[in-house]
Amino acid sequence: MIEFINVTKSYEQNQADALNNLNLFIDKGEFVFIVGRSGAGKSTFIKLLQRELEPTEGTIKVKNHDISLLKKKDIPYLRRRIGVVYQDFRLLENKTVYENVAYAMEIIGRPQSKIRNKVPLALELVGLADMADRYPGELSGGEQQRVAIARAIINNPSILICDEPTGNLDPETSREIMALLDEINRHGTTVVVVTHDVDMVNEMKKRLIVLDNGKLIADNMKGTYDNAFA
């Protein structure tokens, strides 16, 4: 599903968050944690996958297609395949919960009838069915996170990427969010969670990839952070 082959990304200015000859393969339907200190290359990883950035060297494949071969006009279609939940949620403050989620369908040209059917189902899935009319400013961090997840999955992406999904949440809410991601994964979506929340990684016992200084230093199935370096 996702394949990085000898990928190097260097920045002219600073070396932080660069990637150094990274090789990794994530299969369809996997649930993967990518862990590392800040500056380890996590956000570069996401930007490369969305082709917001291009690698200095190496090849990135999504669904077996080399994404560097995509024409500019086809990049949006790559991004529709990859739902991203951002650390800062990136919700539109002047739109309701319902509208924020519907928006993702509108911009790819889905008809209103489809939108009216599907948005309530997604809100149901993330547990926000009764908050459709609220504005993001009225919601807690965990609720906003759920809206962002609903928006990211509304167009049935093959891959869901979450950037620090539990970064600002208390442990109880974090656990609920992870349970939600686990459920989405069980529906067949490949889920990649980029985080430095070690406790949660250890609790979930999923595949764990550890990045440090742009290099892959550990890749364990059912890994915990404590034994990642064992």
* Residue ranges binding other proteins (CB under 8 A): 50, 52, 73, 76-81, 84, 86, 90, 92, 96, 98-99, 102-104, 106-109, 112, 115, 132-135, 151, 155
Cα separation, 25 vs 91, whole angstroms: 31
d(CA 221, CA 113): 42
Q: Which is nearer to other proteins, 124 or 199 (CB)?
A: 124
Closest separation in Å from C-beta 171 to other proteins: 28
Find the shortest distance in angstroms from Cβ 76 to other proteins: 4
Nearer Cβ to other proteins (155/202):
155
What is the layout of strands, in order, in the sheet containing 65-66? Answer: 19-26, 2-9, 57-62, 65-66
Q: Residue 86 or 203: which CB sits closer to other proteins?
A: 86
Determine the Cα–Cα distance for residues 46 and 53; give it in Å rounded to an integer: 9
User: Which CB sits closer to other proteins, 95 or 175?
Assistant: 95
Least distance from C-beta 120 to other proteins, angstroms? 12
Greatest extent of the chain over all pairs of C-alpha atoms, in Å = 54
Angle at 202 between CA 200 and CA 206, to 5 degrees: 95
